[in-house]
Amino acid sequence: MIFPKVIRLRRRALVAVLVVMGGIFLAGVAALLHTPAAVSSSASGGEAPVELPILMYHHVLKYGQQLGAYTITPTEFEKDLQYIQSHGYTTIDTDDLIGYVYHGKSLPEKPIMITFDDGYYSNYFYAYPLLKKYNMKAVISIIGKYTDLYSERGDLHVNYSHLNWDQLLSMENTGTADIQNHTYDLHTTDQGRKGCKKNWGEGAEEYKAMLRADVGKLSDRIREMLGKEATFFAYPFGFYCEETDEVLKEMGFLGTFSSEEGINYLTREPDQLFHLKRNNRPHDLTSEDFFEKVEKHRKKDSKSA
């Protein structure tokens, strides 16, 4: 999953080497490669980078066998929101990030982002009332095929249903949810493709056309049903390849969510909105322990800086 980034860095390093042609500089380049984003970016012109932890949620259920790595209880979710509130964080959405990077706006002092992937009906049933109760917002990246399917079926079962367009619209309209793109029908690993990644031996142009069509189909549906432009994309299962971002950028996406854990250090550099790190919140962990785990990334980053 990290290959494309490594390749890009290597290429950049190579160019630097060619320009300076000196042994001393080689050491400098090597050092740069090991410097975290927090210190290596100077795009903000001296302004300190903004630390942004992003939390990743999927399903919310009261009980059952599904509780685990990707399904937590409503109580656990509420405890997280209480933690966020009592520790002075302000939840932000993708518009806030775009405002910060592209329009010179500032972010709240301690920003944090809540994200939900896959668009389960449980997000509306359990998470939405809690988000409203604490006056917080979340980014929900939906799978188009399932939202269309459950909108058609009218099947509302908290265990397995996905969000329908009416629910998405009402959550968007209150400003609580920011709906984004998690592919129309590429959220699989058992149909010969790993998420939205290029297949072995598949031509680049063939792949790009396939991705453009699928992601475009959901963006069209979001535009039609919610009257908004999807600007962020969450890679299904965190899989991507070198051409993925090329297509997304060409389509007008301004950022992506990865499944790599860590904290983001943002300057006003547009490229930093791609591959934003997120921290998965599993069941059976107290909010204190979960946030401590997130916090550890920050400590590690500052130590290596």
- For Zn ion, the binding residues (CB under 5 A) are 117-118, 236
Q: How far is the CB of 274 from Zn ion (least distance, A)?
A: 18
Around Cβ 201, how many Cβ atoms within 10 Å?
5
Residue nearest to Zn ion (CB): 117
Q: How far is CA 178 from CA 88, 151, 216, 228, in A?
A: 22, 19, 18, 10
Rounded least distance, CB 187 to Zn ion, Å: 6
User: What does the alpha-carbon distance between residue 254 and residue 232 come to, in Å, rounded to a whole number?
Assistant: 6
Closer Cβ to Zn ion, 50 or 56, answer by number: 56
Q: Work out how close the CB of 122 gets to Zn ion at its nearest, in angstroms, rounded to a whole number.
A: 14
Nearer of residues 181 and 267 to Zn ion, judged by Cβ: 181
The residue ranges of DSSP E strands in the chain, in sequence order, are: 50-57, 59-60, 71-72, 90-91, 111-118, 138-142, 177-181, 232-234, 255-257, 263-266, 279-280
- CA separation for the pair 40, 34 (Å, rounded): 9
Residue 116 vs 126, nearer CB to Zn ion: 116
The smaller minimum CB distance to Zn ion, of residues 80 and 118, is found at 118
- Give CA–CA dist 141/134, Å, rounded: 21
**Which CB, 117 or 172, lies closer to Zn ion?**
117
Residue 59 C-beta: closest distance to Zn ion, Å: 10
User: Least distance to Zn ion from the beta carbon of 182, Å?
Assistant: 6
